[in-house]
Amino acid sequence: MPLIRVLLLLFSATVLAACGGSTSMPRGWPRVVTAGGDACPKLAGRYFDSSAPISQMLASQHVPYDTIEADWAYFELVGDADKGLRVTVVHRDSVSVSGTLSKGTEWSGDYYCKDGWLKVGDGKLPNSWDAEVKADDFQPQRRQLRIAPNTDGALVARLDFTDYDEFTVWCGDGCRGIPLPWTFRTRSAWSMAEPFDPDVPPPVARQRQDAQEEREAALDRARHDRVWQEEQLLENGPPDPAMELVRTRALAALVPGMLLRGVGPRDDGWHLSLEFAELYQLEQFMERLRGSGPVAELRVAPLYRTKTTQGRWTDVVFIRYQ
């Protein structure tokens, strides 16, 4: 059999090759609602922004958001995906920008629909998420994103990464190869965009709040441990009731997503060390703190504001009660 015919047969066989690897949805996630046949699922709605592939491929790729410094509040999809979608990104300062998504095929348009999912093919997907699955025995070479709603009204996405062995054809202007059938391996990463609710903190803020509550619960358990109590007494002396009162008031004034890192005496008042994601949270915190007692002075202490390696703000607030 001529070599060229062998190569063509190998190339055709790759279309039929079954992909191995786990593509199961995480346990506990609500059921996905796909469309029938090659129709598109219904995606219209408002969703929390996140760094997941859903937000990037359905929103940030299609709106000029780089010109606005404010953080996103949500993105909204309007229209019938079988014809095309309009996306609007709304920022926390209420500024909004819009764009359009066109339906096409695997090689044209912004997306296509197949097997009841909305899909984005390899040609439009960046490799920025490869690190999630990359390993010595797995190097992502192809990518595909599929999106559909679930029964809770959220959007669910499965990003498939495919690796395979190749048959080298020539090495003229660079070695090239043809994928070999039966060598395909697939690994998947799942993500979700929750439906937007103005009365609910963003998912990232809720996760940080949960982590803060876990740390506070662990600290509370430690405070009831006799050994810990004796160590604190030797190191810091008897507890200061005034400091504990200030700490309690500060914790009650925290906005979801904020952390109280420490309380310490300063001049005739107190320094409150804080960590938060966005500056508006600090403003809300100070408004709430002002009502925590007879406040004589409340201000942001100068020269303390910095950013952590995770991009969160840290700052210090001075408060003096009457």
Rounded distance between C-alpha atoms, residue 14 and residue 8, angstroms:
10
Average pLDDT over residues 185-190: 86
- pLDDT tens, residue by residue, 238-292: 777 888 899 889 999 998 888 888 888 888 899 999 999 888 899 999 999 988 8
Q: For residue 105, what are the β-bridge partners?
A: 108
Q: What is the pLDDT of residue 174?
A: 60
Is it the case that residue 98 has pLDDT exceeding 80?
yes
Among 81, 98, 51, 90, CA closest to 204: 51
- pLDDT tens, residue by residue, 201-210: 767 666 666 7
Average pLDDT over residues 210-229: 74
Q: What is the largest CA-CA distance in the chain?
A: 95
Residues 6+ apart with CB under 8 A from 282: 258, 274, 276, 300, 313, 315, 317
Contact (CB, 8 A) for 34 and 117: yes
- pLDDT tens, residue by residue, 127-163: 888 877 777 778 777 888 999 999 999 999 999 998 8
Give the number of residues written for the chain.
322
What is the pLDDT confidence band of residue 2, given thresholds at 50, 70 and 90?
very low
Is it the case that residue 103 has pLDDT exceeding 70?
yes
Nearest-Å Rg of the Cα atoms of the chain is 27
Is it the case that residue 5 has pLDDT exceeding 50?
no
Burial state string for 154-167 with b = 16 or more CB within 10 A and e = fewer than 16: bbbbbbbbbbbeee
Domains detected in the chain: 3-193 (no CATH), 203-209+238-321 (3.30.1360)
What is the pLDDT confidence band of residue 6, given thresholds at 50, 70 and 90?
very low
Contact (CB, 8 A) for 151 and 33: yes
C-alpha 248: how far from its chain's center?
31
- pLDDT tens, residue by residue, 31-74: 999 998 889 999 999 998 766 788 888 987 777 655 554 566 78
